[in-house]
Amino acid sequence: MYSQSENRNLKDLDTISQGVPWTHPRACHLLYQLALTFTNPEVLEIACCYGKASIYLAAGAKRQGGSFTCTDIDEYLWGGKSAIDLLREAGVLEVSRVKFGHDARWFVLDLLSGRPGQWIDFVYLDLTHTIEVDSFVALATWTHLRPGGIIVLDDLDWIPAVDGVMHGLQDMKVVSRPNVKHVRAIFDYLARLPDVNDVTEWGEEEVEWTWGFLRKQGRVGSAEVSLTDLVRRLDRPSMSNG
């Protein structure tokens, strides 16, 4: 069961994000709960789009005394509001750093060049779903992930030539290997790295899109629980609404 304060917090966030695409509310709740497993976490989201998932990630970070960073190539608006507006409305803008107008690769390179070492706790990646962009960002953030940190990739089974075009992204036709599941290829590569503690998949039945979760070796506590068990325990379908 969620605590009463968590229930209130999630209901408030659900109200603010009602109708905003694209992240499923049930997945938003899971991201929030995963952020709560860290103390003073550094939470990173690439790319935030309209900010639906952002407010849950930032709220989880704030509740645990941490901070949240997000970016996107543009300041996208939904209903006249951007991610910054949603973060402000959710009361979490003060723990958030938001940067628009930069290619994700350059944003990550600038960010991580300025902060070497392993300092990131939790990363949510929702980029172009192509090897051309996502591979560098995934590998770079994994390199700077703290022991026990978690990276989440959504849409593992996205096919550029099919799903990209279906969503009106016509440039998906010209990416390399357009009929290959790029995000899954990246996830499978990361899963074989020597410093991986655990991996799991979730979402095919729950939200109709498969998500991938990877945890880095080295942290005690929640890392003693398998990532599959952790995700299943934190996923609470009864709390989610559209």
4-218 CATH: 3.40.50.150
Average pLDDT over residues 202-206: 96
**156 contacts 181 by C-beta, under 8 angstroms:** yes
Average the pLDDT over 58-80 and give the result: 98
Q: Write down the pLDDT at residue 51.
A: 98
pLDDT at residue 8 in the model: 86
pLDDT at 101 over 80: yes
- Residue 166: pLDDT band (50, 70, 90) is confident
Over residues 180-202, the pLDDT tens digits come to 999 999 999 999 999 999 999 99
Q: Average pLDDT for residues 98-106, to the nearest whole number?
A: 97
Read off the pLDDT band of 1 (50, 70, 90).
low
Q: Cα separation of 69 and 104, whole Å?
A: 12
Separation between Cα atoms, residue 181 and residue 203, nearest integer Å: 16
pLDDT digits (tens, 9 = 90+) for 214-236: 999 986 555 578 999 999 999 98
Q: Please report which confidence band the pLDDT of residue 96 belongs to, taking 50, 70 and 90 as the band edges.
A: very high
Asked if 43 and 35 count as a contact pair (C-beta separation under 8 A), the reply is yes
**DSSP bridge partners of 97:** 69
The mean per-residue pLDDT over the stretch 129-155 comes to 97
Report the predicted TM-score, pTM, of the whole model to 2 decimal places.
0.94
**Contact of 153 with 187, CB cutoff 8 Å:** yes
Q: What is the pLDDT of residue 3?
A: 76
- Position 238 pLDDT exceeds 70: no
Q: Name which of 90, 121, 97 is nearest 10 in CA terms.
A: 90
Residues 13, 30: Cα–Cα separation, whole Å: 13
Tell me phi and psi for residue 102, to 5 degrees. Answer: -130, 140
Instruction: Count how many residues are written for the chain.
Output: 242
Q: Write down the pLDDT at residue 236.
A: 85
